[in-house]
Structure formats: C-alpha cells, structure tokens
Amino acid sequence: MPVALMALALSAFAIGTTEFVIMGLLPEVARDLQVSIPSAGWLISGYALGVAIGAPIMALLTARLPRKKTLILLMVIFIVGNLLCALAYNYNLLMLARIVTALCHGAFFGIGAVVAASLVPAGRQASAVALMFTGLTLANVLGVPLGTSFGQMFGWRATFWGVAVIGVLAFIALIVSLPNNKEEKPVHLASEIGALANGKLWLSLLMTVFFAAAMFALFSYIAPLLLEVTGISDRGVSWTLFLIGAGLTVGNILGGKLADWKVSFSLILSFSLIASFSLLFSWTSHALWLAEITLFLWAMATFATVPGLQINVVRHGKEAPNLVSTLNISAFNVGNALGAWVGGAVIGRGYGLTAVPVAAAALAAIGLLICLITFRKSGRAAAKVRA
C-alpha cells in the first residue's frame, strides 16, 4: 500500500470530520448561537454550497500547478478555515468560516482521487479511490463521535481547534509522502472545459446529486431524530454515529471492490438499498435496536456508492480528470445542500421527524431512475458499436 495513499486518507479524515461533525453538534451550536435547529442546519447547506461553487473554481485556478503543490495549498486553506470556525463568536461569522473551509474540500477530494488512482495499476483504481475515501468514512467512525463528545464536554469550538491540529498533521504527511510526478502533463483550460460537452457526464453528475441528497436529507437531522424519536441520550447519539461510521467504512471498502468488478451493477444495487433502508428507518426509528441495525445497513449501502460514482464520472470525462472529478465532489455537495434543505422543509412544514427518512427514500428513488437511464443509454451505445 503506497504511503501517499495513507496521507491522502488522513487528509480525507480531517476534511470529513469538519464537514460531518457539525451534524452531531447541531443542538449545541443552535443553543449557543441562539438559533433554531433548521437555521443551524443551514451551516451544513452553506458548507455544501461553498464546496459546490468553490470546487470547480479552485480546480481551474490551480490547473497549471502540479497536483502535489495544489493539494498542499488546499490543506493550508482547510487549516485556516477551521481556525476561523473555532474563533467565530456569532452565527454569521461561523457561516463565513464554514464557507472558507469548504473552498478546499471539493478540489482536494477531486484531485486527490485522481492522484490516488494514479498510484496503483489499472483494475485497482476504484479500490484506491475507496482507500482514500476510507479516511472520510473513518471520520464518521472516529472523528464525528469523538468530535461530538468533545464538543459536548468542552464546547463546540473546541472540536474545531482539534480538527485544525489534525489538518496540520495531514499537511506534513502530504509534503513528505506525495511523489513529485515529473511526467505529469500540463493542463490546458480549453480541453478541460471542452470535456464537459458530454451528456452522459452530466447524467452521472446528476446521479451524484441525488445520491448525496438522499444521504443528507436523513443524516443532517440524525441527532434530533435520535434524541426525540428514538429517545436516546446525548452519549447514545455519539455511539450511534460511531455505528453509522462503521457501516460507512465497510460499505466504502465493499463498494470499491464491487465497482472494480462492474460499476453499473454496484450503483444500481446501492441506490436500491439506500431507498429501501431509508424507508424502513421511518418505522424502525421508534425502537432502539431496530433503529441501530437499520442505520448500520443504511450506512453500508450509502458509502458503497461513492467509489463507483467517482470512477463513473472520470470514465465519462477522461479528457479532463481533474475538473470532472472535482465537479463530482461539487455535485455531491449540491446534493448535500438539497438534502439538508429537504429535511429541514419536511420538519418546518410540520410533517415531523419521522417523515425525513421517507423524503430521503424518495430522493434515492429519483437517483435510481437516473442511474437506470444512464446505463441503459450506455448499453445501447455499446450495442451499436458491436453491430
């Protein structure tokens, strides 16, 4: 296993922790800053929109830089953003700090995925991308529950101080371990933008949008749902987040192996399972052990989708891997914002917290439909070539 992959995974762990830990700390942030839970939920949407808008811009601005220098620069922005989060003393400043932090997110994961795939032989690329994203899933296994507990004990700002320290460690690891690829070809902006004229690429990106929307419609409000519907304690929320993170990690590894075998099958199966388990959770959320089992299975299905989505997008935009890979992260975060908004709208309109998983299932069903359309078109095109 290349050491550079471990450095990328550590960076992904830091970035994933700062993105997701806010979900476990929503009640504390809302209470401290004197805003409602749905308003605090906009900190999730604001971060996601910052990623969605900032990712392609950062990818284009850094297009002529070597990938190693780009990743190091993006980690510096990440560290600064988390320090600003820790220092924010009101809602508006925290929102601004979250957006600054988000600027590095999409470009880092997009370019980092390309670098990860380049470190291994063909046929193992989805697994290499999955290994990098294991840092993201471990953020949910370790970073989010520990960060949530830490924030509950010492105040939510302490969590962001801790994440900034992890960012510094990742920064050092990237400098030491990433190879200087002297054979890396310079990027031409015209060819990068020209690669976007591909309908299947946009269908693939739309698939990512609805995958993320389905995930975050439920995940954004998991803490209040567990507290008010399942009836568990603050400490129980941390343990449940740990369980979810374990499911995400297992699903990510299995998804990488499945996508190496057949991308279309892995995505169709994952979308079907996300819709099924989300709908099931609307009933099992009232019973502790059934809720825990359902959330673990839901988490496995959810992150089994990630490697396939990333490889699928790069496959349809191989002329501009940096840009399209980064755009996929943007699409993920557009879906993040959409899902958080849908979940908040469901709560705000008085349907109750148990309606949130139903909305998530509906979003996953839309993603499944797009998935079937995308691969049906691909199958037809392949049949024409054989004819």
Which residue, among 337, 303, 332, has the nearest Cα to 137 in the 3D structure? 303
Q: At what angle do helices 321-348 and 91-118 cross, to 10 degrees?
A: 140
Q: pLDDT of 328-381, one tens digit each?
A: 888 887 888 899 889 989 988 888 898 999 999 999 999 999 999 988 865 555
Average pLDDT, rounded, for the chain: 85
Most confident option among 107-121, 180-194, 213-227 = 213-227
Burial pattern 189-205, b for ≥16 Cβ within 10 A else e, equals eeebeebbebebbbbbb
- String of DSSP letters for 307-335: HHHHHHHHHHTTTSHHHHHHHHHHHHHHH
Token pair of 211 as six digits: 């995958």
Q: pLDDT of 224-266, one tens digit each?
A: 889 889 888 877 887 888 888 888 888 988 988 888 888 889 9
Q: For the whole model, what pTM was predicted?
A: 0.73
Give the dihedral sign, CA 104/106/109/110.
negative
Say if residues 220 and 44 touch (Cβ distance below 8 Å).
Answer: yes
From residue 232, alpha-carbon distances to 19, 49, 288 in Å are 24, 31, 8
What average pLDDT does the segment 212-233 reach?
89
Instruction: Return d(Cα 332, Cα 339) in angstroms, integer.
Output: 10
CB atoms within 10 A of CB 270: 29
What average pLDDT does the segment 301-321 reach?
81
Count Cα neighbours of 24 within 13 Å in the Cβ-side half-sphere: 35
Instruction: Return d(Cα 248, Cα 254) in angstroms, integer.
Output: 10
pLDDT for position 162: 94
Say if residues 35 and 344 touch (Cβ distance below 8 Å).
Answer: no
Measure CA of the first residue to CA of the last residue in the chain; give whole Å.
42
pLDDT for position 319: 67
Instruction: Return d(Cα 305, Cα 307) in angstroms, integer.
Output: 6
Instruction: Return d(Cα 111, Cα 48) in angstroms, integer.
Output: 18
Q: Is the pLDDT of residue 284 over 60?
A: yes
Say if residues 237 and 379 touch (Cβ distance below 8 Å).
Answer: no
Token pair of 220 as six digits: 């954004």
Q: Is the pLDDT of residue 154 over 50?
A: yes
Instruction: Return d(Cα 143, Cα 211) in angstroms, integer.
Output: 23
Q: pLDDT of 7-22, one tens digit each?
A: 999 999 999 899 888 8
pLDDT for position 189: 57
Instruction: Return d(Cα 71, Cα 61) in angstroms, integer.
Output: 13
Give the dihedral sign, CA 225/226/232/234.
negative
Instruction: Return d(Cα 129, Cα 117) in angstroms, integer.
Output: 6
CB atoms within 10 A of CB 243: 18
